[in-house]
């Protein structure tokens, strides 16, 4: 199911054209996945301001645009048990269904950059992602995977909610990078050496970045690989428990900052049991928030 928001910008002035205002400028913003029919929502200017919604061109900066033919490729959180639960749940699903789920992780949960979003927008986006996950559970996740899938998606939502943004809008979610081999129930975790270097040895990672930047195109891959390999060998030799410490740091962060995290409830009342129920709950949301939604129509 696709959800789009239409909003109206009043008195939107065009640069270098004094007195030339564009009125009733309507744009559509896709904020959902790729299942079933679309739902178009039109938003009033008052509602847009109240909910801090931005223009389409601004929101799109926060979405990872992937080749549509490869949208089913996994998106991982770095929490192995969580990622494996989702991978296993999608093992027998279609590529379209897999894409729907992984788009939630990419577009609603673990966005790479949030510079064009307020923190309220980012948290509400996570709330919407959880409702889309519930829709997936009711629509195509197998019965024996429903609970583990939803629990896993909730864990990623909590991880996303606790994320921190730097001065450039880049997000840091506090856990090790998810690096795996295989897929589905056969997913196997491996150690990402570069992420371990970044996390455990900041000066070495800075040197790695310098080598990567200053090497010629023909030498870059060899130079960076050699540096990373040498660093790993020497570091593990010096500290045999470095990998365990790297894993423990990530696990400790999850225990402290994620497990008991509360998720935003902006969209908590949406009914996701069926397409019809979902539409009805959107109408109910409209009636409760008259300045937010102007019209709702399916197409």
Q: What is the pLDDT of residues 137-149, one digit of tens each?
A: 999 999 999 999 9
Which of 130-134, 213-217, 287-291 is predicted least confidently? 287-291
Alpha carbon distances (Å) from 22 to 12, 29, 49, 262: 5, 19, 18, 41
Sequence-ordered list of residues with C-beta below 8 angstroms from that of 80, at least 6 positions apart, any chain: 178, 180, 187, 189
DSSP assignment of 37-99 equals SEEEEEE-HHHHHHHTPPPHHHHGGGS----GGGTTS----S-HHHHHHHHHHTTTS-HHHHH
pLDDT of residue 298: 36
Note whether 162 and 146 are within 8 A (CB). Answer: no
- DSSP summary character for residue 156: H
Please check the confidence at residue 209 and state whether its pLDDT lies above 60: yes
pLDDT of residue 291: 54
Please check the confidence at residue 19 and state whether its pLDDT lies above 50: no
Helix axes 146-161, 119-139, angle to 10 degrees: 170
pLDDT of residue 179: 85
pTM flag (> 0.85): no
pLDDT of residue 289: 64
Q: In the predicted model, what is the mean pLDDT of the chain?
A: 78
Per the listing, tokens 């000066």 go with: 203
pLDDT of residue 237: 93
Structure tokens at 60: 């799109």
H or E element in which residue 285 lies: helix 275-288
pLDDT of residue 70: 60
Q: Is pLDDT larger for residue 297 or for residue 32?
A: 32
Please check the confidence at residue 104 and state whether its pLDDT lies above 70: yes
Under the banding of pLDDT at 50, 70 and 90, the label for residue 131 is very high
Please check the confidence at residue 41 and state whether its pLDDT lies above 70: no
Please check the confidence at residue 14 and state whether its pLDDT lies above 70: no
H or E element in which residue 293 lies: strand 293-298
């Amino acid at each position: 199911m696709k959800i789009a928001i239409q909003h109206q910008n009043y008195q939107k002035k065009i640069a270098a054209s004094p007195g030339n205002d564009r009125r009733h400028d309507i744009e559509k913003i896709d904020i959902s996945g790729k299942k079933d029919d679309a739902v178009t929502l039109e938003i009033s200017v008052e509602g847009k301001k109240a909910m801090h919604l931005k223009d389409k061109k601004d929101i799109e900066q926060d979405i990872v645009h992937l080749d549509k033919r490869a949208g089913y490729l996994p998106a991982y959180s770095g929490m192995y048990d969580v990622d494996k639960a989702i991978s296993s749940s999608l093992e027998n699903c279609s590529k379209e269904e897999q894409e729907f789920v992984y788009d939630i992780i990419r577009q609603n949960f673990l966005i790479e950059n949030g510079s064009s979003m307020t923190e309220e927008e980012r948290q509400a986006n996570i709330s919407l992602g959880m409702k889309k996950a519930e829709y997936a559970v009711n629509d195509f996740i197998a019965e024996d995977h429903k609970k583990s899938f939803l629990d896993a998606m909730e864990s990623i939502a909590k991880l996303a909610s606790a994320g921190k943004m730097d001065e450039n809008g880049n997000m840091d979610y506090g856990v090790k990078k998810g690096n795996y081999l295989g897929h589905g129930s056969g997913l196997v975790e491996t150690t990402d050496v570069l992420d371990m270097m970044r996390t455990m040895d900041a000066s070495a990672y800075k040197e790695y970045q310098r080598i990567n930047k200053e090497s010629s195109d023909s030498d870059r891959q060899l130079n960076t690989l050699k540096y990373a390999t040498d660093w790993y060998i020497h570091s593990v030799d010096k500290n045999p428990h470095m990998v365990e410490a790297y894993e423990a740091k990530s696990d400790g962060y999850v225990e402290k900052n994620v497990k008991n995290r509360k998720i935003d409830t902006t969209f908590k009342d949406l009914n996701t049991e069926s397409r019809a129920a979902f539409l009805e709950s959107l109408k109910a949301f409209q009636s409760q928030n008259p300045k937010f939604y102007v019209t709702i129509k399916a197409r």
